[in-house]
Structure 1
Amino acid sequence: MGIVVFTMKASVIEMFLVLLVTGIHSDKEMTRKIKRPKFTVPQINCDVKAGKIINPEFIVKCPAGCQDPKYHVYGTGVYASYSSVCGAAVHSGVLSNSGGKILVRKVAGQSGYKGSFSNGVQSLSLPRWRESFVVSENKPPKGVIYPSTLTYSSSKSPAARADLWSTTPYTSSRKSPSAKPGLQRQDSSSAAFQEPMGADVSLGEMDFWKPGSVLLDAGFVPKEELSTQSLEPVSQGDPNCKVDLSFVIDGSSSIGKRRFRIQKQFLADIAQALDVGPAGPLMGVVQYGDNPATQFNLKTHMNSRDLKTAIEKISQRGGLSNVGRAISFVTKTFFSKANGNRGGAPNVAVVLVDGWPTDKVEEASRLARESGINIFFITVEAAVENEKRHVVEPNFANKAVCRTNSFYSINVQNWFSLHKTVQPLVKRVCDMDRLACSKTCLNSADIGFVIDGSSSVGTSNFRTVLQFVANLSKEFEISETDTRIGAVQYTYEQRLEFGFDKYSTKPDILNAIKRVGYWSGGTSTGAAIHYALEQLFKKSKPNKRKLMILITDGRSYDDVRIPAMAAHQKGVITYAIGVAWAAQDELEVIATHPARDHSFFVDEFDNLYKSVPRIIRNICAEFNAQPRN
């Protein structure tokens, strides 16, 4: 009997131990499940903005196709929270256009966001925004648990309304500056928070934590602290593409309504890609047919959104394809100060042609180039072999563009391929280093040197003067369509050493200066100025700035007042350079007003070189202070 009792006790003990072990194992399993919950990556659409998501740090999955320009991105590297999350990921290179998972982290707002073109996405510039974010690859730090569902701020989302004021479950060894402790859900009937009627207010975009704001007992934010400012930021434009741009579009009857609509869509895509604004590119449109007309000028629309709306409203003019007449119209009227030309920005005209022009373009384009306008041509569906006999001016595109180096010419086989040229064209018109026809202080003038060759100068000093002339000439961009150089030497008499049309390259000019022979004689400066006006500047091109740089070492034997006044009245900007015994009062009479900016004096010939930087600086300052056209 004792044995049976002992056996029963042993069995009970054994069962107890089994149950105990099983329970412990079960607890461990449950603990393991609690510690390692299954993580589901939330999916978002391409148009979701970071500011709509309250979570300070999260992982999301983006779909394919977020490279589309309609998903706006603001900034580079660090993005304003008004940006598309997935669009920013593509722009930064973290994500391809085929989609995938990314890690997003909110950071503080920036004082400025710089736009750029990267990975097929054109991001826009923005002066400032109250919240930012950065994106990185889907590699969460060890020990960090991200939410499987996101908390949205939009009042239109049922999930967002349910969890509007709840703190998102989030465990991390790091503290996010955007995470605000103690934020609890508030009943929607409370008067402490009321959504403005008709406004879709993103809480993530509001000035939630202004210095000095007072939280209510339950952690609420007083409604007067909530910003109801419009969320649509107004870009100031891309400062890396500060150009004044005219699109000269084909409205002739031959293009047809369908292709005209394609042309308008092309313009809208350009406007979107450019990031138009007062600190960046400005864009106007001229349409041509029989006669050209301005649809809107440079100052009419100051952002890409308004531009696109205006482009949609353009109606076709019809008539012939008079491209040459349109280019002349752009040269004479479009790039004026009254139409918004800024002076400091390169002038660019992009001409679209369906087939071929019905008039000549060469002469009109030459005048445009000499006015500092960079001419681009986009030709669509060029003439086939049996149509070439109808072309008024063969090879018209090469005769029109700024340079025949393929940079300024784009040929498109058909209108349905035109959209492929959007990004290449935007890249070219924004490449200000290659806009060779831009009128600047260094490539826009006819410069005539009037050189004193009198006996008092002497052979050695005369060579120093020629070196000074060469040093100044080196600073300019010299060609037939850029700056041109001419020279006159004088004593009692005058001699044209070479005119503006003699040499068109910098090496040829420098060699010509070196070959000038010393003359020797008296000093008739007044007669020399008159001679330079007649023999040199009378042959200057109408659109060129005229600069006379006179170098003398003594007082003139004749009167300089009347010739100097004639030069000023004819628009010749005169710089007077005096050496050694030159008379200061005479230099000031010769020089253009104000004399302090146009007259220079050095005590000896060997110091002439020191005045070169100041002369160039003054020439450029004066140029930049004046309207371009």
Structure 2
Amino acid sequence: MGIVVPTMKASVFEVLLVLLLTGIYSNKGMAKKTKKPKFAVPQINCDVKAGKIINSEFMVKCPAGCQDPKYHVFGTDVYASYSSVCGAAVHSGVLDNSGGKILVRKVAGQSGYRGSYAHGVKSLSLPRWRESFIILESKPQKGVTYPSTLTYSSSKTPAGKAGEATKAYENPSVTGTTTQPVTLTQTLAISVAEAVYRVTSKPFTASVTSSSRPQPMGRRSQDMGETDLWKPGPVLLDSGSVPEEEFNTQSSELVPQGDPNCRVDLSFLIDGSANIGKRRFQIQKQFLADVVQALDVGPDGPLMGVVQYGDNPATQFNLKTHTNSQDLKTAIEKITQRGGLSNAGRAISFVTKNFFSKANGNRGSAPNVAVVMVDGWPTDKVEEVSRVARESGINVFFITVEGAAEREKHYVTEPNFASKAVCRTNGFYTFNVQSWLSLHKTVKPLVKRICDTDRLACSKTCLNSADIGFVIDGSSSVGTSNFRTVLQFVANLSKEFEISDTDTRIGAVQYTYEQRLEFGFDSYNSKNDILSAIKRVGYWSGGTSTGAAIQYALEQLFKKSKPNKRKIMILITDGRSYDDVRIPAMAAYQKGVITYAVGVAWAAQDELEVIATHPARDHSFFVDEFDNLYKFIPRIVKNICTEFNSQPRN
């Protein structure tokens, strides 16, 4: 028996070799007869992002209408893979809005993408992204085979043709290859080889086909043992790729960095009081999770933290604790109810003082938003603490669920608390929800408003965050006609600012030898009322005691300025002062008042520089004629804003 077994093995090997040689010869013959299939360019929709397509280089056909702004594009010439492929093609000028064929090539991620407007498409800027692509005209390179079907990073195929399945594609790095049919002889040879493997003590290491099996990208061939070559698996469909189901292909679209169109720092204040109950508290948490999912949280987009309040507030997690939506949703699910009273006012004060700090992840360059959720009504007052929050640059939103019934209103600590807490009473910052079961309907409108950074008017800016006091020279040398010109200058300068009780406020003092408060910061809270008040100021006439006027303005005007408001004094004079201006100017500086000195005609420039805040070149101005005062308005506004923007936002 010891002699017979080797003979049987040899016979099997001989049969195998004959079959292999026959199969190879037969396959070569068929290959000669096989015609190269006609290449069909895949079609995609306008909303397909480059990052969703795994192929590194491919041709596609875009439909008409991709110029629409809803198909977002990021970058110029080189585009972030978060962009619409076809939208980028129109922006680059390779296509027009009627569509057509393009060639797309993936390239490395960029440290920044510059937005621009071109060919009817507005592309947006982006700080960074991990993958990019470029658009080329549809001229295929010689010797390169492009995929006729695309591989997407999910099972859903967003192709333009209905029913088109996602398939493995020909590897574009392998040139000159065509799909070969799997012959019966090849299949038989593989089966026989597997049978030989099972009856021999060593694996058969000779190659079964004329070319070695390609390795999936990202795997090292040395990690595969010899026996792995013979493990049963799917048959190769072509010589350049492996079916997607054979291994997990990593998507070329990396983890999103957040929606750059919604770059806000957000604090959710949730009601954890005892009266809300466990069921409603769970609904509240689900609402938060739905908001997080809709926001697309990330370092380049919105960041979010949560504060829970009862008797006292506590931070559940801050802005930098979780930087993606999935981690945030997991953290929200773990929140447990605190109990106690519903002290929303105390929670707002806590957020103003503690939450939006650099240490807690506040970015400074993003608007600050606080969304306060209340079951019924708060057990403390919210108006004053909300005002302080708004003046600290926080946009306060209120969501009240199941408000007080008529018979319960006498229990409410502060009637109309929601309207008093927000900066606008037009309904933009408030949501009154009738039932906890309908709270989910608020998700989309809330997210839309939070992300509408152009309408977040309660954030501090250079135009809405100051108390501006005008100190106007009414001396005899000015004259009635020139005094009206000065008042027009004051009115036109005031128009540049956002005026309300919670935005910029305007006050005015007129002086000669004496001083007179024309109106204070709290006298008028609308732009029209301010302009009317300026128009009504009467010309006084007299001497020029500028030093005394500055001191008077500090005591009678700026002493009543609100906390967290920038204090700006704009002094207009046409001559040298009869008294000393140095000590009052120093007092203004010590009280934090920024002084702009505007001189006309006979005003002394050296005195203007003493009055003005340092550096004098940015805060003192001189003009020969009253009629030329208007020329200073853009420069003064620009300097105010430059100075504001150079300081920390919060």
TM-score normalised by L of structure 2: 0.67
Residue in 2 that maps onto 1:107 = 104
Note if 1:599 corresponds to 2:620: yes
Residue in 1 that maps onto 2:598 = 577
* Cα 1:493–1:186 shift into 2, 3 Å: farther
1:306-385 equivalence runs, <5 A: 306-385=327-406
- Deviation, 1:230, is 8.8
Residue in 2 that maps onto 1:127 = 128
- Deviation, 1:47, is 14
* Cα 1:264–1:532 shift into 2, 3 Å: same
In 1, distance between residues paired with 2:217 and 2:471? 83
Residue in 2 that maps onto 1:194 = 220
In 2, distance between residues paired with 1:436 and 1:502? 22
Residue in 2 that maps onto 1:255 = 276
Unaligned ranges ≥5, structure 2: 1-34, 62-70, 87-99, 116-123, 136-145, 155-166, 180-209, 225-238, 242-248
Amino acid at match of 1:194: R
In 2, distance between residues paired with 1:195 and 1:106? 31
In 2, distance between residues paired with 1:77 and 1:628? 28
Amino acid at match of 2:213: D
1:433-448 equivalence runs, <5 A: 433-448=454-469
In 1, distance between residues paired with 2:102 and 2:536? 68
- Deviation, 1:150, is 6.9
1:286-325 CA-to-partner distances (Å, cap 9, x unmatched) read 2111111222333444443443344344333222111111
* Cα 1:113–1:473 shift into 2, 3 Å: closer
CA contact 1:124–1:235 (8 Å) conserved in 2: no
Q: Which moved more, 1:487-496 or 1:354-363?
A: 354-363
Q: Which moved more, 1:616-625 or 1:235-244?
A: 235-244
Unaligned ranges ≥5, structure 1: 1-33, 60-72, 90-102, 115-122, 135-145, 171-183, 199-217, 221-227
Residue in 1 that maps onto 2:607 = 586
* Cα 1:563–1:108 shift into 2, 3 Å: same
* Cα 1:472–1:279 shift into 2, 3 Å: farther
Amino acid at match of 2:597: A
For residue 349 of structure 1, give the secondary structure of its aligned residue in structure 2: strand
- Deviation, 1:160, is 5.8
1:576-599 CA-to-partner distances (Å, cap 9, x unmatched) read 112222222222221122222211
Amino acid at match of 2:346: R
1:62-101 equivalence runs, <5 A: none
1:212-251 equivalence runs, <5 A: 233-251=254-272
1:124-156 CA-to-partner distances (Å, cap 9, x unmatched) read 97834546699xxxxxxxxxxx999877899xx
CA contact 2:270–2:374 (8 Å) conserved in 1: yes
- Deviation, 1:251, is 1.8
1:52-67 equivalence runs, <5 A: 52=54, 56=58
In 1, distance between residues paired with 2:222 and 2:417? 59
CA contact 1:343–1:626 (8 Å) conserved in 2: no
- Deviation, 1:285, is 1.9
In 2, distance between residues paired with 1:303 and 1:272? 9
For residue 461 of structure 1, give the secondary structure of its aligned residue in structure 2: helix
For residue 628 of structure 2, give the secondary structure of its aligned residue in structure 1: helix
Residue from 521, 525, 532 that aligns with 1:500: 521
CA contact 1:292–1:326 (8 Å) conserved in 2: yes
TM-score normalised by L of structure 1: 0.69
CA contact 1:125–1:238 (8 Å) conserved in 2: no
For residue 563 of structure 1, give the secondary structure of its aligned residue in structure 2: helix
In 2, distance between residues paired with 1:190 and 1:427? 43
Count of residue correspondences: 508
Residue in 2 that maps onto 1:266 = 287
Residue in 2 that maps onto 1:280 = 301
Residue in 2 that maps onto 1:289 = 310
For residue 541 of structure 2, give the secondary structure of its aligned residue in structure 1: coil
In 1, distance between residues paired with 2:250 and 2:581? 66
Note if 1:419 corresponds to 2:440: yes
* Cα 1:436–1:195 shift into 2, 3 Å: farther
Residue in 1 that maps onto 2:558 = 537
1:230-261 CA-to-partner distances (Å, cap 9, x unmatched) read 95635444343232222111122233334333
* Cα 1:623–1:456 shift into 2, 3 Å: same
In 2, distance between residues paired with 1:516 and 1:548? 18
* Cα 1:394–1:35 shift into 2, 3 Å: same
Amino acid at match of 2:104: V
- Deviation, 1:473, is 0.7
In 2, distance between residues paired with 1:352 and 1:289? 12
Note if 1:394 corresponds to 2:418: no
Amino acid at match of 1:477: E
Residue in 1 that maps onto 2:9 = none
For residue 551 of structure 1, give the secondary structure of its aligned residue in structure 2: strand
Residue in 2 that maps onto 1:51 = 53
* Cα 1:576–1:280 shift into 2, 3 Å: farther
Identity of aligned residues (%): 73
1:465-512 CA-to-partner distances (Å, cap 9, x unmatched) read 111111111111112221111111111111111111222221221122
- Deviation, 1:80, is 8.9
* Cα 1:195–1:124 shift into 2, 3 Å: farther
In 1, distance between residues paired with 2:552 and 2:334? 57
* Cα 1:54–1:342 shift into 2, 3 Å: closer
CA contact 1:127–1:235 (8 Å) conserved in 2: no
In 1, distance between residues paired with 2:403 and 2:623? 61
For residue 316 of structure 1, give the secondary structure of its aligned residue in structure 2: coil
For residue 388 of structure 2, give the secondary structure of its aligned residue in structure 1: helix
In 2, distance between residues paired with 1:192 and 1:395? 62
* Cα 1:568–1:148 shift into 2, 3 Å: closer
In 2, distance between residues paired with 1:583 and 1:453? 17
Amino acid at match of 1:398: S
1:12-70 CA-to-partner distances (Å, cap 9, x unmatched) read xxxxxxxxxxxxxxxxxxxxxx9999x9x99xxx99984346894689xxxxxxxxxxx
For residue 460 of structure 2, give the secondary structure of its aligned residue in structure 1: coil
For residue 245 of structure 1, give the secondary structure of its aligned residue in structure 2: strand
In 2, distance between residues paired with 1:333 and 1:163? 54
In 1, distance between residues paired with 2:127 and 2:576? 59
1:462-501 equivalence runs, <5 A: 462-501=483-522
- Deviation, 1:264, is 2.7
CA contact 1:125–1:237 (8 Å) conserved in 2: no
CA contact 2:567–2:594 (8 Å) conserved in 1: yes
Residue in 2 that maps onto 1:28 = none
Amino acid at match of 1:442: L
CA contact 1:274–1:281 (8 Å) conserved in 2: yes
CA contact 2:52–2:152 (8 Å) conserved in 1: no
In 2, distance between residues paired with 1:279 and 1:565? 44
Q: Which moved more, 1:446-455 or 1:370-379?
A: 370-379
Note if 1:547 corresponds to 2:568: yes
Taking only aligned residues, the RMSD between alpha carbons, in angstroms, comes to: 4.6
